[in-house]
Amino acid sequence: MTPDTEPRLIKRAFDPVVDANTRLLILGSLPGDASLKAAQYYAHPQNAFWRLVAGVTERDLIALPYPDRLEALKEAGVGLWDVIARATRPGSLDAAIREAETANLNTLVDRLPKLRAVAFNGATSARIGRRILVPGPGLSLIDLPSSSPAHTRPFEAKADAWSVLRPFLVRP
C-alpha cells in the first residue's frame, strides 16, 4: 500500500482525567496504538510513564489496576490529557501525526482552580501545548523528556528530570 492509497487512520484522544483538586496536569501528544487498543493512558508496556509517575508520587502505581492508578493520580493532585484531540497517524510515532486538531487546553485549564503546573510529556506535546496554551499568573509550564520507548534517554535521566514535578503534588 502506498502513502497515496493508505487508509486515513484517525486517532482520538481520551477524555481528560482531572477533578477540582488537580494541581498538576501532565499532557501527552496523542495516545499510541497500544493505549487506544487498551483504552488506557500509557498502556504500552515499554512506556515508562507509570514508573516515572510512581517515582514522583512515591506510590506503587504499577501494582494497581488501571482505574485505581487514575484514582491515585487524582489523590496526588495529578491530571492527564493530551494536546491533540484528533489526528491522522499510521502507527504510534509523533513524527507521523498529520492533520492534527488541538485539544481545548485553555477551557480545561480555566476549569481547574487549584492548577499550579502543566507538564508536557515530550517535545511534541511541549511544542504544540506551548503554542496554544495561554497560562495565567502563577501557572508553571514544564517540559519533560518523553516517557515513550522511542525516546531513548536512560530511565534514570528521565526520572531525574521528572522529579521537578514533586513540589506540585498533594501530599498525604
Map grid coordinates 491515585 to a residue.
72
Catalytic one among 21, 47, 104, 121? 47
- Any catalytic annotation for residue 47? yes
The residues annotated as belonging to the active site are 47
